Amino acid sequence: MKAMTLMLFACFAWAAAEAAVSVETRLGAPTVARATFDANGTVELPVNYRQWSHVGTRYKPVGLSILDGKITKTPEVLNAYVEPGALAAYRATRRWPDGTQMVKEFSSVLVGTGCDDKTMLCTTQFGRGLFESGYVGLGMMVKDAKRFPDAPGHWGFFSFGHKSPPYDGVSDPRPLSQCGYCHVNLASDTDFVISRAHIGLTSLPPN
**How does pLDDT run across 69-93, given as a tens digit for each residue?**
899 999 999 999 999 999 999 999 9
Q: What is the model's pLDDT at position 90?
A: 96
Q: So what's the pLDDT on residue 182? A: 87
Per-residue pLDDT, 10: 39
- String of b and e for 22-44 (b: at least 16 CB within 10 Å)? eeeeeeeebebbbbebeeeeebe
Predicted TM-score (pTM) of the model is: 0.83
Provide the pLDDT for residue 66: 85
Residue 206 has a pLDDT of 61
Which neighbouring-strand residues pair with 64?
71
Round to whole Å and give the CA distance between 44 and 160.
9
Least confident of 4-13, 101-110, 131-140, 146-155: 4-13
Residue 189 in this model has a pLDDT that exceeds 50:
yes
CA distances from 97 to 63, 83, 85, 154 (A): 33, 11, 9, 11
pLDDT above 50 (res 138): yes
What pLDDT is stored for residue 22 in this prediction?
34
Integer Cα distance of 103 and 160 in angstroms: 10
Percentage of the chain with pLDDT > 70? 86
In Å, how far are 99, 146, 159, 193 from 173, measured between CA atoms?
Answer: 15, 14, 8, 17
Confidence of residue 204 (pLDDT cuts 50, 70, 90): confident
User: Under CATH, domain 34-202 is a member of which superfamily?
Assistant: Cytochrome P460 (3.50.70.20)
**How many whole angstroms separate alpha carbon 182 and alpha carbon 192?**
9
Q: Could you tell me the pLDDT band of residue 142, with boundaries at 50, 70 and 90?
A: very high
Q: What is the pLDDT of residue 23?
A: 35
Task: Please report the pLDDT score of residue 201 as a whole number.
Answer: 95
User: In 52-87, which positions are buried (b, 16+ CB within 10 angstroms) versus exposed (e)?
Assistant: bbebbeeeeeeeebbbeeeebebbbbbbbbbbebbb
Report which of residues 205 and 38 the model is more confident about: 38
Confidence of residue 19 (pLDDT cuts 50, 70, 90): very low
